[in-house]
Amino acid sequence: MAQSQLSMEDRILGGLWGLLIGDALGVPYEFKQAHELPPADQIDMQPPTDFSRTYPSIPPGTWSDDGAQALALLDSLLTCDQLDVNDFATRIIAWAERGEYAVDQNVFDIGVQTSEALRAIQHHGVPPAKAGFIRSEGKGNGSLMRVLPLALWHLGTDEALVHDAHLQSVVTHGHETNQACCALYCLWARRLIQGLPWEEAYADALRVLRDIYKNQPTHEQALEWEIRPDSEPFSDGSGYVVASLHAARLSLKNDTYVGAVKAAIQLGQDTDTNAAIVGGLAGLRDGIQAIPTHWRTQLRGHEIVNPLAKKLLEHRKPD
């Protein structure tokens, strides 16, 4: 189906499932260097038999912390009908402590900064809206990896979307660079939902964000001097939030969902998170049917996702 003919439902489902499948696809390859990975045609949910999987006890098709936190955010938004950082933090803690939103309730991966922020909330009484500032220069991709559901759910103005993108970030990752990456990503995703071609969607998202940041000098500085959104994208596959955003720009040059997520994984290192970040956008761009049926079938945890996906589509339906 031509991209211009895709329905909003096709794109919304493509984005949600695209994130989760990208995450699960990248899990077996996490922390490997690019030269250690199989060639693109052998990257799959089940890696080649001679490949040393990062988590050999985790069944293929299992999402990680990226998918679990994204689902926690989506559930919070749908339940509260707004971004409530206290509710959201409670749900992330429920994931970290009890495995809610995780397949098999098994938490096998959690970022260092996220873990520190959650401990600050639980054990030191730090408010969720301030917890992400405990590591002042922390610039991991832990808030970018989960933010897509905000763009899928949000019906407000671009300014309101940017505000909420910042707010969901500061629960674990407070630095303005993290906030700005989340804001740009959400504006980009919104324009993909609207059907703009991916490069045009990125350019328009950047134009709008620059206008919003005219009166926010610290965010503007993070955007222009650290993210450098006009520069030729480069990524080493690391967990640095700017590298992950640039990985999306690089990987979406592949004109299929499959090509885009495999390109993200082939960067090496933070393969699951970068494939989740890319997979969400590629799913919005290409629609749910562009994701191979066997990957959708192999993804575990459908019983967790399906009720949330149904509620999300009901929320998005025009009155």
CATH number, position 75: 1.10.4080.10
**Residue 193 maps to a domain:** yes
**Residue 150 maps to a domain:** yes
**Residue 54 maps to a domain:** no
Q: Is the entire prediction scored with pTM above 0.95?
A: yes
**Residue 46 maps to a domain:** no
Per-residue pLDDT tens listing for the chain (319 residues): 456 689 999 999 999 999 999 999 999 999 999 999 999 999 999 999 999 999 999 999 999 999 999 999 999 999 999 999 999 999 999 999 999 999 999 999 999 999 999 999 999 999 999 999 999 899 999 999 999 999 999 999 999 999 999 999 999 999 999 999 999 999 999 999 999 999 999 999 999 999 999 999 999 999 999 999 999 999 999 999 999 999 999 999 999 999 999 999 999 999 999 999 999 999 999 999 999 999 999 999 999 999 999 999 999 987 5
**Residue 51 maps to a domain:** no
**Residue 226 maps to a domain:** yes
Domain of residue 203, residue span: 3-41+60-316
**Residue 52 maps to a domain:** no
For helices 85-98 and 65-80, angle between their N-to-C axes, nearest 10 degrees: 140
Number of structural domains (the chain) is 1
Nearest residue to 269 (alpha-carbon basis) of 44, 39, 54: 54
Tokens 């494939």 sit on residue:
275
**Residue 283 maps to a domain:** yes
Nearest residue to 242 (alpha-carbon basis) of 144, 135, 109: 144
Residue 164 phi, psi (nearest 5): -70, -35
Residues 6+ away with beta carbon under 8 Å from 161: 150, 151, 154, 183, 186, 187, 190
